[in-house]
Each structure stands twice: as structure tokens, then as C-alpha cells.
A and B are shown apart, each in its own frame.
Chain A
């Protein structure tokens, strides 16, 4: 798959014609036609479907090489205008979007506007009233040409590391400058910045320097792709003497660790006593042995994690003799936790908003 190049709009149109034709009843036909449009220099592309009785229906086509949800929304806004201006006779033209690949979110968005779509992998929704026609088929749910796409998720350690840099450091900063300060790949940082800008979670000036970051929004966005329990290598244990004994033992260990979750949050803002200890370490086995943790069938109160990235050990704080991971990391870990942890995450966000000077570099 690597190096496979995204197909062109023209190729997508040709494939769409074949995909539609294969789905039609026998005796029906489908053809993509082109005609000069009213505005000079552009052409009007349409798909004509003819029934076995000789009736025909036409879809006004917009072909795109790629289309993300945001661009789809903008496109449909414009097409709404076109739909009224390109009427033939009295009948409004049905519309269809054609592209090599349309993501689920893009497809939903297009369908919600009553517009048809066809992608080259076989995702198709074709609807017209006259002749009555409704076809819905599924193709790929993953883009076969992902390299051509901008970053879509914050999954993965590179993206997570970049996101942590963006929220931990106080803007303004340039991508290169931040990449150097936080030891992040500039390319990844740039792509993560693009993603967050598309989601309107940060703004850039005309020279591309990041000048404002909605760090709380970024952390919430990250928590959709990241999850403490699954993004890290975690094991649940019982600390039979309780969490205060667990933290006093932790205060004496020689190896590297960073406390997160409720135990970390309660050092910053007062919350109800923690029920679950969450801890990053380099080696789970050593930690379990030295902290007298037990593996039990049920009734665990400590989660030990080997982290997705070393960034959890960076920009840590020391409070009450314990090393805490950065509050931004604690927020993400709490937001993706169970029970009352997401609420504790939001409480910590509120504290961080009032105390930005304390935690932001």
C-alpha cells in the first residue's frame, strides 16, 4: 500500500460510472456526461441514469480528489447555491459528490443534506424521486490512500507527544521553535497543529506562528483518541494497606515514576479522597514488587502503567515528596478514566484555568 498514489477526480468519475451501472437493475444504464457550464471556463458534469422504460434522471456532480468533513460542509453550502441556479426546466437537479474516498463522517454529513455520493471504494448513496431510485452500498471504511490525507487522529505517541508540547507551553511560538524546546518531530508537530487548527482549537498568525491555544479544548479533543487504560501498557493491582501507605512507600523509591489520576489531581485541587492510584513507571514488575502490590481477581485499587511515551516523565512537579506527571497529562488520564474520574478531570481543568501561571511553561 505504501507509495500508492491517490487516484484523480477523472479516474474517480470513471469508476463511479461503473459502480453505479453495476448496482442498477438490468436494462438500466448510467453515464457521466460533461457540458459547458454557464460560467466561462468551467464544465458542468452530470450523471445520467436511464431506466429500461426510457425515463431518465440526472445528478449534478461535484468531483473532488479528497474531501474532509469540514471541506464537505463548505462545499455543500456552495452547492446549495448552484442547485438553484442550474435548474433545467422546472425540476431541481439532484446532486451527487464523487471522490476517491469519503470517510464515514463525510458521508454522514453529505447524506444529512439530502445529497448523493459515490466513492471509488464502493461507498454509495444514490437517491432520486423520479425515477424512484434509492441505492445504498458500503465500500471501504478506511482511506486506501491515507498519505494524501491530513492527520485525522491524535492516536499514536508522536501525535500525543506533540499535543502535550502544544498545551504545556505558553504561546506564541513557531512550530520549529516549539519542536526544539519540547524535543518533538517538527513534521508531526506541524500536522498536529493543522489538525487542531481545523478543529478551531488553536489559531495561527499570517506567518504560521501559533498565537492562541484552547488548551482545555485540545485536552478534550485528545481524550477522544487517547485512553489511559489502553494507550499505555497497564496492569491493575491491589495495595492492601490502602493508598496512603502506597504513596508513603512511593516517596522512598529510587526509580523513576510519575503519579497521575486522582492522587495526582488532589495535590493541585481539593477533590474527594482518591479511590484509585494511577502511576507511570518504566518497569511494572519492579514497581509491583517494591510497592507490595498484589495481583487479585477483583478489588484492585492501583493501576500501574508503562507509558505510551517518555513525555509523561517530562515537565513533572514535585509535591509532598511525590513526583507528579504534568497536570495536562493528569487531565487526559482522568477524562478517559471511569466512575467519577472524568468529573475530577474537569475540576482540575477549572483549577488550571485559574492557576495557569503555576503550571504552564
Chain B
């Protein structure tokens, strides 16, 4: 989208940089995921929805994480306050920060990830994020507020990994009629539109070859076929609902189906 970014998005980016400042010693173990990562890949995609997100989402690679400083302590001294559920934090400016660990690396348990010295409340376990530790790239992330000169080179999840992660979120909530999850379908649409099918298919192939991401990727592609390749499929409906643009819904449906079908065909061995 052209023009000035949504003020909320400016604040969310600021909160993200606050989190990087606080977690600086651990930056190599952190991958930016979620909507802010999606928008870094899709800056030019046209959609009649403002590009905004209120969350800053981070994935942790436990194997690369040092024992100190403790994530909880670092975030607290950076002005973040813990929310009720594990991995949930609130920035000084009131933006949600979610710190997550891929389910396959999160140890036993159901909600909090077991992160050794860091405890089980610093991060939440999340399925699908395995892919973001395999398909990722270095990017410099800048503040969007013109008075803020901060910039950080960080890991951000690659587009194929983000698609896998989004499909897991969407798949878990099928039938929920949940506006928040609808937005995940719209993010998926943005990624499919903005990134070439060849590039996505390459990413998917790498993810399927890697032991950490093989299973979640296979599951994600099954979800893609089930929810996004027919006009009446639920994922297609979620996308159209999230866009809130009835005049354009036929084009969105056809585009979503076309792009999802292309990707599935291109990932077939």
C-alpha cells in the first residue's frame, strides 16, 4: 500500500525494535514471524485493507539460545510486562509481543515451552513454526516513525515458512468463524500474490527435505488443498470475509484458488 503507514503499524514496529533492543544478546536465536514478517515480503501487494497489525511475533530457536540473560528478565528490564499466558508480553506502548518456540523443540507440556534456565513462562509452544527456523533470511528492519532512527539486522522467516505457519494457525481454527483467524487467511493470500510461485515452491521443497520441518510442511500443504482450492472452501471464504470488499470477492476467490493450485502443482515431485 502506498502512502503513510497505519499509526498502529508504526507503534507495532516500534514495539518490535524495543523487543530486539531488550533481547539483543539473543538476536541470533530469534526469527521474526507473524504479520510483520509477512508485510516485509508483501510491501507492494495491493489490497483494499490497510496493512496493519498490532502484534509483534517472535520465534525462538532453543538450540541457539544462550542461558543468560534470561528472556523474562531482559524483557522486563526493557519495559515489557508479562501477560497471563506463557510467552505473552505487553510492550511499554501497549503492543502485544508473542514469544514462541516451535512445538517440536518445546519439550514436554501443553502451553509453555520448556526453555531450561529461561523457564516455562518466557515462551509459548506453537505448531507450524518449525518451518521458520529452516526457511529464513537476514533482513534489516527499520523504524517507521520518522523520529526513530533505529535499524536492526535480524532473521525473518522466509515466505514459504510463513505460509506453513499461517496454514497451521488457520487449520487449527476451522469452523471457528473467528475474525482474527480470517486475517491469517488474508495474510496467506498476500504472500501467494506477492511472491512468485517458483520461489515459494523452492522454499517448500527445502522445508520438506529438512527433518525439523518435513511433517509440518506436509500437513500445511494438505490444509492448503482442503481449504483453498475450491470456491466454496472455508479458507477461501475466510479470505473474502477478512478483505471486507464484496465488490471484489469473485476476483479474490478466483485468484486465491488459482495461486494455491499453482503452488500445489509446483511442489509436486
CB pair A240–B259 under 8 Å, yes or no, is yes
Q: How far is the CA of A299 from the CA of B231 in the complex (A)?
A: 11
Residues of A within 8 A of B259 (CB): 240-241
CB pair A238–B254 under 8 Å, yes or no, is yes
Provided the pairs A238-B251, A299-B252 are in contact, do residues A243 and B46 lie with their beta carbons within 8 angstroms?
Answer: yes
Q: How far is the CA of A332 from the CA of B40 in the complex (A)?
A: 40
CB pair B193–A240 under 8 Å, yes or no, is yes
Asked if B119 lies at the interface with its beta carbon under 8 angstroms from chain A, I say: no
Asked if B76 lies at the interface with its beta carbon under 8 angstroms from chain A, I say: no
Instruction: Write out, one digit per residue, whether chain B residues 51-81 have a CB within 8 A of any chain A CB (1) or not (0).
Output: 0000000000000000000000000000000
Provided the pairs A238-B258, A296-B258, A299-B254 are in contact, do residues A244 and B248 lie with their beta carbons within 8 angstroms?
Answer: no
Q: How far is the CA of A245 from the CA of B45 in the complex (A)?
A: 8
B6 to A: closest C-beta gap in Å: 17
A228 to B: closest C-beta gap in Å: 19
B260 to A: closest C-beta gap in Å: 10
Q: How far is the CA of A241 from the CA of B262 in the complex (A)?
A: 12
B35 to A: closest C-beta gap in Å: 19
CB pair B48–A273 under 8 Å, yes or no, is yes
CB pair B247–A241 under 8 Å, yes or no, is no
CB pair A241–B193 under 8 Å, yes or no, is yes
Residues of A within 8 A of B248 (CB): 275
Asked if A232 lies at the interface with its beta carbon under 8 angstroms from chain B, I say: no
Chain A-chain B contacts (Cβ-Cβ < 8 Å), number: 46
CB pair B251–A241 under 8 Å, yes or no, is no
> Max chain A CB contacts within 10 Å: which of B44, B255, B262?
B255
A257 to B: closest C-beta gap in Å: 21
Q: How far is the CA of A321 from the CA of B94 in the complex (A)?
A: 44
Tally A residues with Cβ within 8 Å of B.
16
Residues of B within 8 A of A245 (CB): 193
Residues of B within 8 A of A298 (CB): 250, 253-254
> Max chain A CB contacts within 10 Å: which of B45, B250, B262?
B250
Q: How far is the CA of A299 from the CA of B48 in the complex (A)?
A: 16
Residues of A within 8 A of B48 (CB): 273
Q: How far is the CA of A262 from the CA of B6 in the complex (A)?
A: 26
Option from B46, B247, B251 in Cβ contact (under 8 Å) with A244: B46
Specify the chain A residue showing the minimal Cβ separation from B248: A275
Q: How far is the CA of A275 from the CA of B259 in the complex (A)?
A: 19
CB pair A244–B255 under 8 Å, yes or no, is no
CB pair B258–A240 under 8 Å, yes or no, is yes
Q: How far is the CA of A354 from the CA of B210 in the complex (A)?
A: 63
Specify the chain B residue showing the minimal Cβ separation from A241: B193
Residues of A within 8 A of B194 (CB): 241
Q: How far is the CA of A242 from the CA of B254 in the complex (A)?
A: 11
Residues of A within 8 A of B45 (CB): 242, 244
Complex interface residues of chain B between 193 and 223 (CB less than 8 A to chain A): 193-194
CB pair B193–A294 under 8 Å, yes or no, is no
Asked if A300 lies at the interface with its beta carbon under 8 angstroms from chain B, I say: yes
CB pair A299–B46 under 8 Å, yes or no, is no
Residues of B within 8 A of A188 (CB): none
Q: How far is the CA of A242 from the CA of B46 in the complex (A)?
A: 7
Complex interface residues of chain B between 240 and 269 (CB less than 8 A to chain A): 247-248, 250-255, 258-259, 262
Provided the pairs A275-B247, A275-B248 are in contact, do residues A240 and B46 lie with their beta carbons within 8 angstroms?
Answer: no
Instruction: Write out, one digit per residue, whether chain A residues 322-353 have a CB within 8 A of any chain B CB (1) or not (0).
Output: 00000000000000000000000000000000
Specify the chain A residue showing the minimal Cβ separation from B258: A240
CB pair B46–A296 under 8 Å, yes or no, is no
> Max chain B CB contacts within 10 Å: which of A242, A294, A301?
A242
Provided the pairs A245-B193, A275-B247, A275-B248 are in contact, do residues A240 and B44 lie with their beta carbons within 8 angstroms?
Answer: no
> Max chain A CB contacts within 10 Å: which of B44, B248, B254, B259?
B254
Q: How far is the CA of A245 from the CA of B255 in the complex (A)?
A: 13
Residues of B within 8 A of A242 (CB): 45-47, 193, 255
B49 to A: closest C-beta gap in Å: 12
Q: How far is the CA of A245 from the CA of B253 in the complex (A)?
A: 17
Residues of B within 8 A of A273 (CB): 46, 48
CB pair B255–A238 under 8 Å, yes or no, is yes
Residues of A within 8 A of B47 (CB): 242
CB pair B247–A299 under 8 Å, yes or no, is no
Q: How far is the CA of A294 from the CA of B255 in the complex (A)?
A: 9
Instruction: Write out, one digit per residue, whether chain A residues 235-251 have a CB within 8 A of any chain B CB (1) or not (0).
Output: 00010111111000000
> Max chain A CB contacts within 10 Å: which of B248, B251, B258, B262?
B251
Q: How far is the CA of A298 from the CA of B231 in the complex (A)?
A: 10
Provided the pairs A240-B193, A275-B248 are in contact, do residues A299 and B44 lie with their beta carbons within 8 angstroms?
Answer: no
A sample of 8 cross-chain residue pairs with beta-carbon separation below 8 angstroms, ordered by A number, consists of: A240-B262, A241-B194, A242-B45, A242-B46, A242-B193, A296-B254, A298-B250, A301-B251
A-B residue pairs, 3 tightest by C-beta: A299-B254, A299-B250, A240-B255
8 more A-B residue pairs beyond the given contacts A240-B255, A244-B44, A300-B254, with a C-beta to C-beta distance below 8 A: A238-B251, A240-B193, A240-B259, A241-B193, A241-B194, A241-B255, A242-B45, A242-B47
Residues of B within 8 A of A (CB): 44-48, 193-194, 247-248, 250-255, 258-259, 262
